[in-house]
Copies of this chain bind each other. A is one copy, B any other.
Amino acid sequence: MLFLNKYSIQKMDQGLIQTAVEKAYQSVLSQNYNMPDRMHVIDHENTLLLMPCFSENFFATKLVSVFPKAREHGQPAVNGVMVLSDNVSGQPLAIMDGAAITAQRTGAVGGSAVKRLTAESIETAGILGAGVQGLSQARYLLFNRKIKTLYIYDLNPEAVMGMINTLKQEFSSLEYVAAETPDQLLADSRVIIAATTSKSPLFEASPDNILGKTFISIGSFRPDMQEFPNIVIKNADDIFVDTLFAIKESGDIATPLKDHVIAKDRIKEFAGLLRENTIFENRTVFFKSVGMALFDLTTAAAVYQQALENNIGQRLDF
């Protein structure tokens, strides 16, 4: 059995991770997986999520704990452990840092959306939210597009500076701009990716500032959260979700539906794009991701195979 910590997972090849995420979408198309509803356990103010999933060759369970008060003790609020097993023998194959798997797969979900929903020629982009997920979104954005100017906004300007410094080490040939407001970022970006925990839309906008752009919402995983104002989805030519659960789970879809801004039949599964070769030039596109255990499974499997090939990780004598 293998143990893979966050440092080894962070160093994994982005192309292979993004391919793994697209493999998950392929499984959605072929219905070649078994993903039961995730289990929520509430204990006082804390939450434990149990996310099992089975594919043809592997099964995996991600355990994610959310302890809001841990931050007061200088610990991360979110922890995760991923257990990957062989779906033929039943044997456990690897234990992984679940938070690092989440960051990689969420980044790659955004990356796949950038790849398929933006024009290859785009040169400006904006990231709202400079946390772990924002960083991962930026890494996969820059992996997919030759961005010349990247705007980053966060309520905490220090977090923006930290993220810029981290990104510069890996991607040095572009200009980084710490945006003063979300509006500045919106005005100058062709693709806008939000990875925040905001409960109300991050900006107000007129159609002029929206048309022809791609909007990717990664945060808002509950109905009481919303990152983009209704006017964005209202003006979108195309609306995609990574999974139809997003309709119930995210305020970025649930709220405009409730407000009768859009009709439900306009919402399409992103996986369908894998069957087509649509080119999104000069279209206004809205993509909402809430994630699913199937992404974790295919990502963990890709990480495991890469670790084996490159002799990465700590061997455990099970």
By a beta-carbon cutoff of 8 Å, the part of chain A in contact with chain B is: 3, 5-7, 34, 36, 39, 41, 43, 46, 48, 50, 52, 54, 59, 61, 63, 65-67, 70, 73, 75-79, 81, 83, 85, 87-92, 95, 97, 314, 316-318
Contacts and interface: CB of A to CB of B under 8 A. Distances in A.
A160 to B, nearest CB: 27
Contact of A59 (B36, B48, B75, B76): B48
A10 to B, nearest CB: 13
A240 B41 CA distance: 29
A6 B318 CA distance: 7
A81 B314 CA distance: 17
B83 A63 contact: yes
B67 A5 contact: no
B67 A81 contact: no
A32 to B, nearest CB: 12
7 contacts: A3-B316, A6-B318, A46-B87, A63-B83, A66-B90, A70-B91, A75-B90
A77 B59 contact: no
Contacts of A52: 39, 41, 48, 50
Contacts of A87: 43, 46
Given A65-B90, A70-B90, A316 B5 contact: yes
Number of copies: 2
Nearest to A95: B95
A89 B61 contact: no
A70 B89 contact: yes
Nearest to A47: B90
B61 A63 contact: yes
A276 B132 CA distance: 54
A209 to B, nearest CB: 40
Contact of A90 (B59, B77, B316): B77
Given A48-B54, A48-B59, A79-B92, 14 more contacts: A5-B318, A36-B39, A41-B52, A41-B54, A46-B87, A59-B65, A63-B83, A67-B89, A70-B90, A76-B90, A79-B85, A95-B95, A314-B314, A314-B316
A87 B39 CA distance: 18
Contacts of A97: 318
B43 A54 contact: yes
A303 to B, nearest CB: 16
Contact of A34 (B43, B76, B317, B318): B43
A103 to B, nearest CB: 15
A89 to B, nearest CB: 5
